[in-house]
Amino acid sequence: MRHGRAALAMFLCVALWTFPPQGSAGEDMLVKRAAVAVDPSVKPETRIPAIQELGRSGDGRAATSLLKLLNDPLEDPGIRSSAARALADLGQSRQEAVTSMEKAYGEAAADDNLRYTILLSLGRLKATGSLSLFREALADPDGGIRFKAAQALGELNDSGAVGLLLARYDEEKDRFVRAEIVRALGKPQNPELEPFLSRVLLQDGEALVRWNAALMLKAFPVLGPEGKAALESAATDPSPMVREAAGGAL
Amino acid sequence: MKKIFPLAVLVFLLSAGPALSLETGAMMYHSGRGDILYGRDGNLALPCSPLDAFYGELKSGHAGLYIGGRKIIHAVRDGVIEVASENFITQEDLDEGCKYLGAKVPANFSDGAAWPQERKDQIVVIAREQVGKAYDFTFHLQTGNGSGDFTCVGLVEYVYEEVGYDVTPDGYYSTGAGGTTRDQTYNCIITAFTDWTGTNSFAQAAEFSRIQHPLEALVGREHEGGKYIFFPYTQYIQTTTVAVPDDPDTPVSGGSGSGGLCFLSTVDPGGTAAGNTGKAPWLLGAALLLIAAGTVRFRPR
């Protein structure tokens, strides 16, 4: 009898831990997830999914826990990256999130992948007030940082971001970063940038960059005469990838 | 002159040999802890316990992309990250028995007309764009599909598809030609220590293999009422890719970074994760009833 009850009790404990009962309107679940997320004694592979769920909860109260994680420089970089990403998913407490991300990005010992994630998250949050951080990131000696800054600025898609990207293109030596600048400027399909993309397609010395310019121009729903002429000229480009991208009906 | 000629031949032979550096864009693979790899040598076993199955590692190995400069991009617990190549298999995972399987590139990678340098470079561009995105802990998407939820092998497949090369044919396998199936009887706490038999599969001809597991409601990509997982070994064995020699100048293991394991799944116990159909509480209820019934029977007379 005792053994049976003990087994049942043990099973119930494990079962409740594995599948706890749902609280009223998910409130208990939010509290539970937040508790798991901020508990340093819990394994990261358990905390990170809890952090992801907080970000997807749509509940503004989740921001408190996420900001706490992001603001702690002693926290695991993977946990902090996940918190930054979740804050971007949540989209609430936006100003506090942006401020915390800028602060974490500026830490002297910040992990590279945390910085990459913060740049991406700032872009997703359309942090147009963070242009000075992006300007600094575009001049970073690490090509990976410059690449992610360019990608994030493309998400911002405002005149300040476009100006930074255009200025950086002329200075940038790394073909991967230049290609990403072209993609960032091309994805919003802004007709005002058609002349720039056309110039890149015809003049950039790297086939990778020209190819991406051709891909971007081809995706425009309507092309002006400059874009059409550039694509026609690119049909004789030495790169087979550029020729293929530029080919077909305009 | 007699001495110079053999020396010249030797220099020529050495210079004409295969390049030793790992090529940018190479797909790298390793087995799971204990050198276990789902799909290899007929192993189609999944752990039963929720602690092992969905709070642990599925013993399905790992895949990543070499992007040059002794760096890789891979999807792990922390998300899609760019790290030093030695973090492909961390020292901790090496100690736990993970083994490097090797690196592969598309079968026509050396064909300059098919793979000019800019196409190889584009692999790096697309992979870097994914850095900072999330890991798919519930395996509800696995190959990204725009949302940024990747597993390790899903990331590699996505990047190559974006540059126009389909490493593994799209599709779902559950039975018949193009893969193998095996019944597995689960008996652990989640089945209330009674036998629960499901059929697991391993696809060779398509990305996604069907799994049947007591907790399948919580994980996997939903397709026509079943749950499917894209396993790294499916991609590894594709004939669309060929093995490349190991590169002594590019370490692939021994790093101290965060986990280089794929299929480290942790389901959301609340049952609200995408793809979760909420069947777990029913399973739990049934299990409790069975246990309660068993307790009554075990009552001493």
Instruction: Supply φ then ψ for residue A246, to 5 degrees.
Output: -80, -20
Q: Which residue on chain B is closest to A181 by alpha carbon?
A: B125
Per-residue pLDDT of A40-69, as tens digits, reads 999 898 899 999 999 999 999 999 999 999
* Nearest CA distance, B71 vs chain A (angstrom): 11
* Nearest CA distance, A226 vs chain B (angstrom): 24
**Residues B194, B197, B198, CA angle at the centre, nearest 5°?**
145
CB–CB of B287 and A15 under 8 A? Answer: yes
Can you give the CATH number for the domain in which B80 is found?
3.90.1720
Helix (H) or strand (E) holding B13: helix B4-16
One DSSP character per residue, A63-92 reads HHHHHHHHH-TTS-HHHHHHHHHHHHHH--
Domain presence at residue B51: yes
* Nearest CA distance, A141 vs chain B (angstrom): 15
Closest by alpha carbon to A143, among B26, B69, B122? B69
**Residues B36, B54, B28, CA angle at the centre, nearest 5°?**
40
Closest by alpha carbon to B131, among A135, A243, A28, A84? A84
One DSSP character per residue, B19-61 reads P-SPPTT-EEEE--GGG--TTGGG------SHHHHTSSB-S--
By the 8 A CB rule, do B22 and B164 touch? no
* Nearest CA distance, B291 vs chain A (angstrom): 7
Q: Cβ contacts (< 8 Å) between A50 and chain B: which residues?
A: 268
A150–chain B Cβ distance below 8 A for any pair: no
Angle between helical axes of A175-186 and A143-156 (0-180°, round to 10):
10
Domain presence at residue B68: yes
The number of folded domains in chain B is: 1
- Average pLDDT score over chain B: 82
Per-residue pLDDT of B237-275, as tens digits, reads 999 999 999 888 899 998 887 666 676 655 544 433 333
Q: Cβ contacts (< 8 Å) between A52 and chain B: which residues?
A: 134, 137
Instruction: Flag the least confident range among A82-86, A134-138, B56-60.
Output: B56-60
> What is the ipTM metric for this complex?
0.90
Alpha-carbon distances of B138 from A59, B49, B111, B174, rounded to whole Å = 21, 16, 38, 20
For CA atoms A161, A166, A172, A176, the dihedral sign is positive
For CA atoms A95, A100, A101, A105, the dihedral sign is positive
Closest residue to B269, CB basis, from A20, A78, A176: A20
pTM above 0.80? yes
Domain presence at residue B175: no
Give the length of chain A: 250
3-class DSSP assignment, residue B193:
coil
Q: Cβ contacts (< 8 Å) between A49 and chain B: which residues?
A: 137-138, 266-268, 273
- C-alpha span between B275 and B51 (Å, rounded): 20
Q: Which domain holds residue B135?
A: 20-168+239-293
CB–CB of A82 and B78 under 8 A? Answer: yes
Q: Which residue on chain A is closest to B139 by alpha carbon?
A: A49
Domain presence at residue B178: no
Domain presence at residue B3: no
Domain presence at residue B250: yes
- C-alpha span between B273 and B300 (Å, rounded): 43
Domain presence at residue B2: no
Per-residue pLDDT of B196-217, as tens digits, reads 999 999 999 999 999 999 888 8
Domain presence at residue B231: no
Closest residue to A241, CB basis, from B116, B192, B281: B116
Instruction: Flag the least confident range among A21-35, A77-91, B5-19.
Output: B5-19
- C-alpha span between A248 and A82 (Å, rounded): 42
- C-alpha span between B236 and B220 (Å, rounded): 20
